[in-house]
């Protein structure tokens, strides 16, 4: 284009003009600032040093993963495997150091090498095997997750203490994960901006053919790019596991999508050629600030997901609009330009007001200072059992006049750690935790203990940290009861299959142990298959259908929860309750209905709403300084068609 | 105003982009049954103007009238409704659909909700016959050559009953034979009462085809003249000065053979291609589109593999199929597809200029950014790249300036053998001469230049020797003195498998 070019708009504006330019140039930064202002206005607990450091810690893992993904996205690729590779690297570290006595330094090297190799395999498949990046890394997502389960045999492995310090603070206040995030961010910025490989990423992402014809060794570069991504994933995995003091084979599940979201919110294009480390950091911070703020505001766990989705879309929309506004002429027509800028401001204002309005609407805590406050962190709300725990707890809280905040960790130990940290920093009177993993919750519980906040565990215990009380059903006993029920029903003889719970959870392990112990009394019962179906109804259906192909003659099924049992019943069709007897676990409303209908022979019923109720009772006692029992056992009982009518959860 | 023949009128159009005023007060009008040529250097604003007509851009100021009524063209649908069809330089065709599907894309005739394939293909056949191209409506667009793609685009425009047809440099990619065919079709459309906006850089086409000429310079319409205006006058209007010599070739002393190609063969594509290029020499490769010229030079550069033969630079063999080996030997390629293969469009001028030297500017993994910046600044100044700054994205540069950037990155790498594939396609007269000067400087400094071009006057004007390719073989070689348009064309259409008669036939002219 020929003439009338102008370099910059900031003339007389000075410092404010510079700031305005910075904000207009970076929609994500504007969004972050809007969010911070909105949350500070809504919650007094938000803008404190402690809480901001919490946000940093909570952003760290996503940010480090996202820095690695930035390399890939800038070069017009995609890496879906980073979450799994992070889990695999952490598992390798814990497995070699803890289980095999490899020196810790060597174990760390081994773990980083694992990430590197996973990245190299991705890069090789993409550059030389010509697989689309989406497919190659999707395959690695599955392989790495599977390998971490294989190595750990499905159970979390304790992390060596020396590495666990990575999850602590430096000098008593600076959390190491934040430090790692900053260092990796600087490293990423340095690689992208100054190194040969970094500059190549932009060229390859912008126009691969032009890069090749300019002599860039595109294939070798791609190998290196994915190796970098794997390396960053390994570091993220180590940080994640250090925070939890345990390597979880199921950790970082779905984090690749958070990482990609962070990169895109930060202004990168999935088409490649653009993206910056600073933008990615802002993207990761936006996600962390949101989760933290919504926890503090006591927004319902279900609405949180809606809000997060809306904010991701808004942040990217703001950035797109900003670019369009930036694309308007600046040389002349100053009037038009100003109105466009005003438009951007107006949009930002509308977004802020909408956000503040929506969150304060969803935020249901009219918190007068006299009512005792408590937090309940549930492992998941994607399962009726835990929903019943919540209802029991909420009903009791209402009765006792307690202000109860409920969060949903979505079966992610690290997300639970964040939520517990948020509870601690907003100085609640008491915390009730339903751990995703008993080992992984220990650090967070220790922190709460340190802050003199009573902690009650519900349904699952916490290892290596003191809780004031554990309110739980007896899973091992329940498992034995389930075995006994099926043994008696089949007359001590027959072939059965066992559907196990999600590998790595204590409930799955304990119930499996109970089944095994109970079946010892029935040598005539033959277990022809044991397969995990992850406590999930759909998976229960699939796994059972598959097992029926191999063993059409089974006579009994023990499922480690009702959801899987109901899935199995679907798979069995008309056989259920007639030629095949199914025993479930939990006594959920759906399960009990099936017992009533005769398709489910029996369910070992826990009393989830009782668990919730008793947990809140005990928490209040502890809060008021009264003495509480160390373990409160809530009885389980076998519910069959005979006694189902009288049973209430 | 109330001219009944007037189809279209544009008054005082203004359009700005960030940092650039693309159009400023442009007037233009089009009558029924005329060919109105838009003339201007690249970057003058011709493309921006026609994008207003297709609805891709919206004017900041000014008005557009169709049939005397003011209209707003917000998108492709509006343009279609008003009977305005545009054929861009980059075709808007879907490669994996058939010709008929492309012609009727989005408007396929339907019966009971299903696409009526039979009727669609029959209708397409009629349209294709009208534009005089023999291609099956069922052929996939991917399989067609560039000239036929253009005919398909024209057929598509006809199917829309376009009253205004905008053609953006339709002849840039055609051979002269194809150009003649295109002109016949355009004349026929003019007879039918269609108004045609015709953009071209080939001045001789204006007299051959046009009725009126509107000249645009630096975003302003600087004059409207009849098509019979002398070429010198048109050039003066277009560039604002007169150009002394269109092909300023200065032949330096010929040195030793730098590039030697022997018996290069890729089965089914090119066969037994051999030639030499000496230091200080410009060798042109002429031929019809599809003769295998681009394929040969890509193979020489290592971008594609070959089956037999050898490539040597200064006597040393170059590994086959290895771009880096070719580069190390001093070969550089300015590819045919400037945007698709030559540039990273969304990167800055500086980054594009530094692409080839990125590796050599790296010490211990770190790029010497300061050095790269200084080098880019020097070369951009030397080449006279017109830009807002080194940080400007090359996407927003004009075609001529983009090409300078592509050549510039090779100059920075001290290239000894520079291969130029259609170096001036879609570039205006002024920038062309600048690129020719650059070729002169290169050869004067002892480099060898191999240049493919479909622009015959250019090949003849700039080459010291001309190789003519036909059907994947070298059909003949002509020295600068004996190369005429007729001689080259005779070889280009010859059947070089019986080489003797071909060469003799050419001598006969």
Domains, chain A, ranges and CATH? 44-296 (1.10.3470), 373-472+610-633 (3.40.50.2300), 475-605 (3.40.50.2300)
Residue A599: pLDDT over 80:
yes
pLDDT number for residue A17:
63
Helix (H) or strand (E) holding B405: helix B399-412
Mark whether B201 and B222 lie in a shared domain: yes
Judge whether B244 lies within some domain.
no
Confidence of residue B507 (pLDDT cuts 50, 70, 90): very low
Residues whose CB is less than 8 angstroms from the CB of residue A349 and which lie 6 or more positions away in sequence, other chains included = none
* Measured distance CA(B35)–CA(B33) in Å, rounded: 7
* Measured distance CA(A462)–CA(A445) in Å, rounded: 8
Residue in B with minimal Cα distance to A195:
B366
Confidence of residue A22 (pLDDT cuts 50, 70, 90): low
Mark whether B426 and B387 lie in a shared domain: no
* Measured distance CA(A617)–CA(A634) in Å, rounded: 13
User: Among residues A401, A440, A402, A395, which one has the least CA distance to residue A421?
Assistant: A440
Distance of residue B327 Cα from the nearest chain A Cα, in angstroms: 7
Mark whether B401 and B452 lie in a shared domain: no
Residue A364: pLDDT over 60:
no
Contact B164, B190 (CB under 8 A): no
- Smallest Cβ–Cβ distance between A217 and the set B17, B324, B369 belongs to B324
Distance of residue A167 Cα from the nearest chain B Cα, in angstroms: 32
Mark whether B205 and B354 lie in a shared domain: no
A324 close to B (CB below 8 A): no
- Smallest Cβ–Cβ distance between B333 and the set A203, A213, A333 belongs to A213
pLDDT number for residue A336:
44
Residues of chain B positioned with their CB less than 8 A from the CB of A327: 17-18
Across residues A49-71, what is the average pLDDT? Answer: 91
Q: Which residue has the higher pLDDT, A13 or B49?
A: B49
Residue A5: pLDDT over 60:
no
**Rounded to the nearest 5°, which phi and psi values hold at B343?**
-130, 150
Tokens representing B81 are: 């409704």
Judge whether B107 lies within some domain.
yes
- Smallest Cβ–Cβ distance between B343 and the set A197, A207, A336 belongs to A207
B17 to A207: CB separation less than 8 angstroms, yes or no = no
Mark whether B406 and B422 lie in a shared domain: no
Distance of residue A336 Cα from the nearest chain B Cα, in angstroms: 10
Residue A330: pLDDT over 60:
no
Domains held by chain B: number: 3
pLDDT number for residue A305:
82
Contact A196, B372 (CB under 8 A): no
pLDDT number for residue A428:
84
Lowest mean pLDDT among A422-431, B190-199, B255-264: A422-431
Quickly tell me which residue has 């499905």 as its tokens. A154
Domain boundary among the residues B410, B435, B451 is at B410
pLDDT number for residue A8:
37
Distance of residue A309 Cα from the nearest chain B Cα, in angstroms: 29
Residues of chain A positioned with their CB less than 8 A from the CB of B367: 194-196, 198-199
Q: Which residues pair with A604 in a beta bridge?
A: A585, A638
Judge whether B488 lies within some domain.
yes
Angle at A371 between CA A369 and CA A374, to 5 degrees: 105
Mark whether B154 and B273 lie in a shared domain: no
Distance of residue B347 Cα from the nearest chain A Cα, in angstroms: 7
Q: How many CB pairs under 8 A join A and B?
A: 128
Confidence of residue A382 (pLDDT cuts 50, 70, 90): confident
pLDDT number for residue A6:
35
- Smallest Cβ–Cβ distance between B218 and the set A2, A202, A212 belongs to A2
Instruction: For residue B204, give the CATH number of its domain.
Output: 3.40.50.300
Helix (H) or strand (E) holding B128: helix B117-130
Helix (H) or strand (E) holding A244: helix A218-244
Judge whether B361 lies within some domain.
yes
Mark whether B271 and B378 lie in a shared domain: no
Judge whether B19 lies within some domain.
yes
Mark whether B305 and B440 lie in a shared domain: yes
- Smallest Cβ–Cβ distance between A273 and the set B20, B21, B347 belongs to B347
Residue A331: pLDDT over 50:
no
Distance of residue A440 Cα from the nearest chain B Cα, in angstroms: 40
Judge whether B160 lies within some domain.
yes
Tokens representing A420 are: 């517990």
SS3 label, residue B431: helix
* Measured distance CA(A85)–CA(A65) in Å, rounded: 10
Give B218-270 pLDDT, tens digit per residue: 788 888 899 888 888 888 888 776 666 778 888 888 889 999 999 999 998 89
Distance from the Cα of residue B372 to its chain's centroid: 30
pLDDT number for residue A584:
94
pLDDT number for residue B242:
60
Distance from the Cα of residue B316 to its chain's centroid: 34
For chain A positions 95-124, those within 8 Å of chain B (CB to CB) are: none
Distance of residue B60 Cα from the nearest chain A Cα, in angstroms: 9
Interface test with A, best of B344, B365, B388, B389 (most A CBs within 10 A): B344
| Phi/psi-derived region of residue B499, left when phi > 0, alpha when psi is between -120 and 50, beta in every other case | alpha
Confidence of residue A342 (pLDDT cuts 50, 70, 90): low
Across residues B465-482, what is the average pLDDT? Answer: 90
- Smallest Cβ–Cβ distance between B43 and the set A1, A197, A331 belongs to A1
User: Among residues B40, B44, B49, which one has the least CA distance to residue B215?
Assistant: B40
Residues of chain B positioned with their CB less than 8 A from the CB of A207: 340-341, 343-345
Residues of chain B positioned with their CB less than 8 A from the CB of A273: 344, 346-347
Distance of residue B294 Cα from the nearest chain A Cα, in angstroms: 14
Residue A107: pLDDT over 70:
yes
Residues whose CB is less than 8 angstroms from the CB of residue B122 and which lie 6 or more positions away in sequence, other chains included = none
B18 to A326: CB separation less than 8 angstroms, yes or no = yes
Domain boundary among the residues B410, B434, B460 is at B410
A2 close to B (CB below 8 A): yes
pLDDT number for residue B173:
72
Residue A7: pLDDT over 50:
no
The parent domain of residue B444 ranges over: 257-330+416-508
| Phi/psi-derived region of residue B287, left when phi > 0, alpha when psi is between -120 and 50, beta in every other case | left
Q: Which residue has the higher pLDDT, A635 or A214?
A: A214
Alpha-carbon distance values, B411 to A453, B363, B427 (Å): 71, 21, 20
Contact A296, A364 (CB under 8 A): no
Mark whether B220 and B155 lie in a shared domain: yes
Contact A429, A625 (CB under 8 A): no
Judge whether B339 lies within some domain.
no
B366 to A195: CB separation less than 8 angstroms, yes or no = yes
Residues of chain A positioned with their CB less than 8 A from the CB of B362: 195-196
Residue B369: pLDDT over 60:
yes
* Measured distance CA(A86)–CA(A80) in Å, rounded: 11
Lowest mean pLDDT among A72-76, A358-362, A447-451: A358-362
Across residues A403-407, what is the average pLDDT? Answer: 89
Q: Which is it for strands B20-31 and B6-17: parallel, antiparallel or unpaired?
A: antiparallel
B341 to A1: CB separation less than 8 angstroms, yes or no = no
What pTM, to 2 d.p., does this model score?
0.74
Residue B20: pLDDT over 80:
no
Residue A326: pLDDT over 60:
no
Mean pLDDT for chain B overall? 86
- For helices A176-194 and A49-74, what crossing angle results, to 10°? 30
Judge whether B247 lies within some domain.
no
Distance from the Cα of residue B23 to its chain's centroid: 23
Contact B469, B291 (CB under 8 A): yes
Mark whether B308 and B194 lie in a shared domain: no
Contact A473, A610 (CB under 8 A): no
Residues whose CB is less than 8 angstroms from the CB of residue A468 and which lie 6 or more positions away in sequence, other chains included = A454, A455, A456, A618, A622, A628, A630
Quickly tell me which residue has 């079946």 as its tokens. A519
* Number of Cβ within a 10 Å radius of residue A489: 16
Quickly tell me which residue has 């010929």 as its tokens. B254
Q: In chain B, pLDDT over 70 holds for what percent of residues?
A: 95
Give B387-431 pLDDT, tens digit per residue: 888 999 998 888 888 999 999 999 998 899 999 999 988 777 778
* Measured distance CA(A503)–CA(A501) in Å, rounded: 6
Confidence of residue A368 (pLDDT cuts 50, 70, 90): very low
Mark whether B355 and B477 lie in a shared domain: no
Mark whether B212 and B262 lie in a shared domain: no
pLDDT number for residue B399:
81
User: Among residues B221, B312, B308, B213, which one has the least CA distance to residue B270?
Assistant: B308
Contact B76, B54 (CB under 8 A): yes
Residues whose CB is less than 8 angstroms from the CB of residue B199 and which lie 6 or more positions away in sequence, other chains included = B37, B38, B39, B46, B47, B50, B166, B167, B168, B169
For chain A positions 330-359, those within 8 Å of chain B (CB to CB) are: 330-333, 336
ipTM of the complex: 0.71
pLDDT number for residue A54:
83
Across residues B89-111, what is the average pLDDT? Answer: 84
Residue B1: pLDDT over 50:
no
SS3 label, residue A388: helix
| Phi/psi-derived region of residue B420, left when phi > 0, alpha when psi is between -120 and 50, beta in every other case | beta
Q: Is the dihedral of CA B387, B13, B57, A20 positive or negative?
A: positive
Domain boundary among the residues B387, B410, B433 is at B410
């Amino acid at each position: 284009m020929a003439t009338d070019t102008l370099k910059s708009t900031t003339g007389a504006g000075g410092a404010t003009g510079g700031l305005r330019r910075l904000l207009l140039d970076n929609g994500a930064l504007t969004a972050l600032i809007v969010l911070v202002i909105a949350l500070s206005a809504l919650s007094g607990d938000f803008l404190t040093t402690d809480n901001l450091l919490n946000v940093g810690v909570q952003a760290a893992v996503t940010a480090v993963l996202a820095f690695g993904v930035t390399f890939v996205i800038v070069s017009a690729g995609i890496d879906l495997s980073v979450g799994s590779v992070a889990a695999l690297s952490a598992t390798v570290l814990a497995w070699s150091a803890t289980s095999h006595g490899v020196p810790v330094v060597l174990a760390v090297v081994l773990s980083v090498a694992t990430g590197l190799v996973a990245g190299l395999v991705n890069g090789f498949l993409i550059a030389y095997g010509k697989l689309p990046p989406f497919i190659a890394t999707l395959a690695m997502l599955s392989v790495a997750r599977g390998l971490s389960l294989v190595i750990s045999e499905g159970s979390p492995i304790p992390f060596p203490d020396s590495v666990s310090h990575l999850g602590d603070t430096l000098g008593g206040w600076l959390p190491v994960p934040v430090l790692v995030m900053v260092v990796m961010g600087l490293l990423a910025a340095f690689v992208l901006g100054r190194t040969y490989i970094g500059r190549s990423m932009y060229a390859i992402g912008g126009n691969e053919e032009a890069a090749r014809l300019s002599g860039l060794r595109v294939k070798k570069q791609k190998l290196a790019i994915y190796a970098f991504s794997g390396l960053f994933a390994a570091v993220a995995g180590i940080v994640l596991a250090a925070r939890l003091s345990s390597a979880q084979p199921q950790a970082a599940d779905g984090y690749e999508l958070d990482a990609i979201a962070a990169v895109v919110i930060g202004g990168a294009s999935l088409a490649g050629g653009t993206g910056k480390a600073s933008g990615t950091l802002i993207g990761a911070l936006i996600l962390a600030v949101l989760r933290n703020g919504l926890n503090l505001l006591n927004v319902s766990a279900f609405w949180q997901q809606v809000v997060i989705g809306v904010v991701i879309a808004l942040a990217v929309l703001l950035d797109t609009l900003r670019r369009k506004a930036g694309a308007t002429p600046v040389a002349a027509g100053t009037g038009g330009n100003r109105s466009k800028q005003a438009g951007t401001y107006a949009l930002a204002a509308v977004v802020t007001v909408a956000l503040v309005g929506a969150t304060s609407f969803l935020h249901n805590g009219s918190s007068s200072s006299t009512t005792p406050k408590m937090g309940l962190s549930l492992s998941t709300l994607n399962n009726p059992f835990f929903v019943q725990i919540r209802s029991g707890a909420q009903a009791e809280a209402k009765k006792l006049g307690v202000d109860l905040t409920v969060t949903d960790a979505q079966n992610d130990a690290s997300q639970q750690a964040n939520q517990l940290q948020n509870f601690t920093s907003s100085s609640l009177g008491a915390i009730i935790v339903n751990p995703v993993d008993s080992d992984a919750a220990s650090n967070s519980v220790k922190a709460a203990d340190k802050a003199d906040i009573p902690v009650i565990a519900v349904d699952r215990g916490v290892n290596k940290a003191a809780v004031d009380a554990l309110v739980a059903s007896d899973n091992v006993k329940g498992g034995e009861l389930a075995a006994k029920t099926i043994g008696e029903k089949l007359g001590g003889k027959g072939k059965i299959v066992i559907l196990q719970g999600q590998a790595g959870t204590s409930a799955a392990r304990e119930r499996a142990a109970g089944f095994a112990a109970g079946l010892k009394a029935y040598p005539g019962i033959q277990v022809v298959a044991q397969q995990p179906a992850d406590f999930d109804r759909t998976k229960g259906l699939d796994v059972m259908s598959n097992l029926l192909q191999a063993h059409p003659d089974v006579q009994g099924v023990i499922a480690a929860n009702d959801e899987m049992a109901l899935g199995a019943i679907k798979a069995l069709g008309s056989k259920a309750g007639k030629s095949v007897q199914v025993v479930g676990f939990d006594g959920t409303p759906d399960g009990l209905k099936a017992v009533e209908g005769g398709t489910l022979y029996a369910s070992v019923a826990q009393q989830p709403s009782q668990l919730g109720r008793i947990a809140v009772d005990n928490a209040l006692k502890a809060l008021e300084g009264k003495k509480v029992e160390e373990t409160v056992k809530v009885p389980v009982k076998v519910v069959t068609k005979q006694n189902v009518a009288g049973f209430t959860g | 105003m109330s001219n009944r023949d007037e189809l279209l009128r544009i008054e005082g159009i203004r359009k700005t982009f960030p940092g650039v005023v693309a159009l400023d007060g442009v007037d233009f009008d089009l009558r029924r049954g005329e060919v109105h040529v838009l003339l201007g250097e690249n970057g003058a604003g011709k493309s921006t103007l026609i994008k207003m007509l297709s609805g891709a851009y919206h004017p900041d100021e000014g008005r557009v009238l169709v049939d005397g009524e003011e209209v707003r063209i917000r998108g492709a649908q509006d343009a279609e409704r008003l009977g305005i069809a545009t054929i861009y330089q980059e075709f808007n065709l879907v490669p994996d659909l058939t010709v008929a599907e492309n012609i009727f894309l989005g408007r396929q005739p339907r019966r009971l909700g299903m696409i009526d394939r039979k009727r669609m293909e029959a209708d397409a056949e009629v349209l294709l016959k009208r534009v005089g191209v023999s291609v099956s409506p069922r052929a996939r667009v991917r399989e067609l050559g560039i000239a036929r793609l253009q005919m398909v685009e024209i057929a598509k425009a006809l199917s829309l009953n376009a009253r205004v047809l905008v053609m953006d440099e339709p002849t840039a990619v055609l051979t002269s034979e194809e150009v003649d065919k295109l002109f016949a079709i355009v004349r026929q459309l003019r007879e039918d009462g269609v108004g045609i906006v015709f953009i071209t850089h080939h001045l001789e086409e204006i007299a051959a085809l046009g009725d009126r000429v509107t000249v645009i310079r630096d975003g302003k319409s600087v004059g409207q003249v009849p098509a019979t205006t002398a070429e010198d006058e048109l050039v003066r209007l277009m560039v604002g000065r007169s150009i002394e010599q269109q092909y300023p070739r200065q032949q330096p002393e010929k040195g030793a053979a730098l590039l030697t190609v022997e018996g290069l063969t890729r089965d089914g594509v090119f066969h037994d291609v051999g030639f030499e290029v000496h230091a200080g020499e410009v060798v042109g490769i002429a031929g019809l589109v599809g003769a295998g010229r681009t394929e040969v030079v890509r193979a020489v550069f290592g971008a594609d593999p070959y089956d037999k033969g050898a490539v040597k630079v200064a006597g040393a063999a170059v590994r086959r199929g290895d771009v880096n080996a070719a580069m190390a030997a001093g070969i550089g390629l300015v590819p045919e597809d400037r945007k698709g293969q030559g540039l990273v469009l969304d990167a800055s001028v500086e980054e594009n200029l530094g692409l080839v030297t990125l590796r050599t500017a790296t010490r211990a993994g770190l790029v010497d950014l300061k050095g790269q910046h200084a080098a880019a600044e020097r070369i951009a100044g030397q080449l006279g790249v017109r830009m807002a700054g080194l940080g400007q994205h090359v996407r927003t540069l004009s075609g001529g300036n983009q090409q300078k950037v592509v050549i510039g990155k090779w100059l920075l790498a001290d290239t000894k053998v520079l291969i130029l594939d259609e170096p001036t396609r879609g570039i205006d007269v002024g920038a062309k001469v600048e690129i020719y000067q650059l070729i002169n400087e290169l050869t004067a400094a002892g480099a060898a230049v191999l240049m493919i071009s479909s622009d015959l006057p250019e090949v003849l004007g700039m080459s010291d020797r001309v190789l003519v390719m036909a059907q994947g073989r070298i059909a003949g070689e002509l020295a600068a003195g004996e190369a005429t348009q007729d001689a080259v064309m005779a070889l280009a259409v010859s059947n070089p498998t019986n080489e003797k008669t071909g060469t003799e036939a050419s001598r006969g002219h």
